A and B are shown apart, each in its own frame.
Chain A
Amino acid sequence: MRESRQPDIVYRPRGRPPGTRPGAHRGRESGGLGTFRDQVPFLRLPDARRIDVRATLRDPFEGTVVRRFEARTPIEVWALVDLSASMRFSGEADRGVLASDFCRGLAASATRIGDPFGLIGCDGAMREDVFLPASRARSQVAAVSRRLADAACTGDRADGFLAAARRLTGRPKMVFLVSDFRWPEPLIAEVFAALSLHDLVPVVLGDTAEAEGLPEWGLLELDDLEGAGRRVVFMRPALRRRWIAREAARAESLRRIATAHGRPPFRLAGRFDPDAVSRHLLGT
């Protein structure tokens, strides 16, 4: 099976998540097991099991010293998936399949290390039929894949992300924003601001067919998937250069907004490669 062979997405939350439940990430609290953190006086942490004998003997003031360890806590991982009609785009790869692959991989990786995974689909509003509450169950992978396969992408807006942001309250979570971000720029800024409390990872679904893969010459009749009409484009090298420059400018403005609210965006194009996601997440 593909899932078993696929490597996990390795992620490290920004900051230290609070919480007392045992999990996989370095937590804010100190706990019994895990990585050594520091030594504190016995009176501060009266835990006789953790008395550091060597440090106690070495203390000239004869105080008793207790070792403290980092607690490892889980963090909730949420995938917010854009389900507007533009996700039906299929160039080099099918955008919907790519998003579904990514969410499945993320769900598998999260649930394997005990992090709850939740899924929210959004278009003009929050899509309740593509909502999965966060759960650590391993069956979440199958549920995600089913939900996304059944979801019809018809909307022509992405305002549902604001509603989704209101639903994601409470402790900081890791939020993966999976979309092609073909939104009006104010909406992008608004959504990022609404989610900036969380560890926000924008995943931009791109396609080489939308920029570098454009033909040098030819007549294209573009048909907007979100119903913005049709347009004839006479491709020629000059226009292609302008087009690619425009796409680059759009990516740059998205990167600027995203970096202001967290991490730079990860570009998911062509094929879902979990290692590339891991490298991006550990590097930023």
Chain B
Amino acid sequence: MTDALVRLSADHPLLLWLLPLALLPLLASAQRATPVASIAAGPPDGLSRAVGVVVRLGGILALAGLILALSGPYRRGETLTRTGIGAQVSILIDRSGSMNETFAGRQPSGAEESKAAASRRLLAAFVGSRTHDQFAVTAFSTAPMLVVPMTDRHDAVRAAIAAIDRPGLDYTNIARGLAMGLSQFAAASPSTSRALLLVSDGAAVIDPRVQETLRAAFTRLRPNLYWLFLRTKGSPSISDRPQGEDTPQAAPERHLDLFFKSLRTPYRAFEAEGAEAVADAITQIERLERDPIPYTEQRPRRDLAGFAYGMALIGLLILVLAKLGEADLRRTGSSDAAPNRSLPVRLAA
């Protein structure tokens, strides 16, 4: 309550010094006074007293409302921190040229959809299914691109995801993409549940020196890592050992998986070979990420002049009604007095 009061402010606060004028109706009345010989002549009447108080309050309300309205009151905008159920999800999307192909490894034609289009469709449903999730979207190919920083504006996130089926280009530089994806996690409270969702259709060798940096970042932030591997039919799986030398260069997917497993953070890899498999994977991720998350809520500045004018209107209405209901002793008394009055006229005639 006091917090709400603190946030009240006015455009012209100096006008508020006029507020004591609102007490004027206590001193003077707008009603026409009817002089009477004795005020005690009328019987005491509770309803009349109530009406008197209401009219007086109406005057105070009208004056106070007008002064308040003129001063331009408003409630300052604020940022509220609340706790909801959700997670901070950093989505890292591969934009390499191969994402433009279908799961069959061809250029899409007719009703076929590319890997990028499929992931776009399914991720868009993922975003916004829970109100308090926060998302960041990063794309990477040769260099990482920050698309949307961590935000709870799901419209922006959906727009970012809608853009990922633009034709991709170049190669897959997963190390820098991971670094940027991780950098999206703000140093929020430690209880926040974080998830890094990597969507890619391939992998690349991570330089051992960069590996150390990434390892440190993962240890610090401890995100849940999900790898949505969009496998093209026929290409090697994560777990496939290559026939030749087992080096990162020969089987980058397998070694990236091994690297992730060595991070000592919760990690799951989903290998999807079609749109349905992607949908299943996303449903699983959604189910796993259910933790309390502090989120911020923006409350915009709110103009309160309308309320003040409304208040003044109520007061003025009361005053106008009282004025319209005004009666006059002398005028209304004439109906009874009329025969008496005509007498002197006749005498004078």
- A contact set with B: CB distance below 8 Å: 86-92, 95, 180, 182, 207-210, 212-215, 217-226, 228-236, 239, 242-243, 246-247, 250, 270-271
How many A-B pairs with Cβ below 8 Å?
140
B39 touching A229, Cβ below 8 Å? yes
Complex partner residue of A239 from B48, B52, B55, CB under 8 angstroms: B48
Cα separation A242 to B337 with both chains bound (whole Å): 21
Cα separation A247 to B40 with both chains bound (whole Å): 10
Smallest Cβ distance from B38 to chain A, in angstroms?
4
Residues of A with C-beta under 8 A to B330: 90-92, 209
Of the 9-residue stretches B188-196, B214-222, B225-233, B321-329, which lies at the interface with chain A? B321-329
Q: Would you call B186 an interface residue if the criterion is a C-beta within 8 Å of the partner chain's C-beta atoms?
A: no
A224 touching B36, Cβ below 8 Å? yes
Q: Would you call B243 an interface residue if the criterion is a C-beta within 8 Å of the partner chain's C-beta atoms?
A: no
B45 touching A239, Cβ below 8 Å? yes
- Overall SS of chain B's interface: helix
Residues of A with C-beta under 8 A to B329: 91, 209-210, 213-215, 220
Give 8 CB contacts A-B under 8 Å.
A213-B337, A215-B332, A222-B34, A233-B42, A234-B48, A239-B47, A271-B343, A271-B344
Smallest Cβ distance from A25 to chain B, in angstroms?
30
Residues of B with C-beta under 8 A to A221: 29, 31-34
B38 touching A182, Cβ below 8 Å? yes
Residues 324 to 349 of chain B near chain A (Cβ within 8 Å): 325-330, 332-337, 340-341, 343-344
Cα separation A260 to B198 with both chains bound (whole Å): 112
Residues of B with C-beta under 8 A to A246: 41-43
B6-40 CB mask vs A (1 if < 8 Å, else 0) is: 00000000000000000000000101111111111
Cα separation A162 to B82 with both chains bound (whole Å): 81
Cα separation A210 to B35 with both chains bound (whole Å): 11
A243 touching B325, Cβ below 8 Å? no
Residues of A with C-beta under 8 A to B332: 213-215, 218
B36 touching A222, Cβ below 8 Å? yes
Residues of B with C-beta under 8 A to A232: 29, 31, 48-49, 51-52, 55
Complex partner residue of A209 from B39, B52, B333, CB under 8 angstroms: B333
Residues of B with C-beta under 8 A to A270: 337, 340-341
Residues of A with C-beta under 8 A to B45: 233-234, 239, 242
Residues of A with C-beta under 8 A to B334: 92, 213
Greatest chain B CB density within 10 A among A91, A234, A250 is at A234
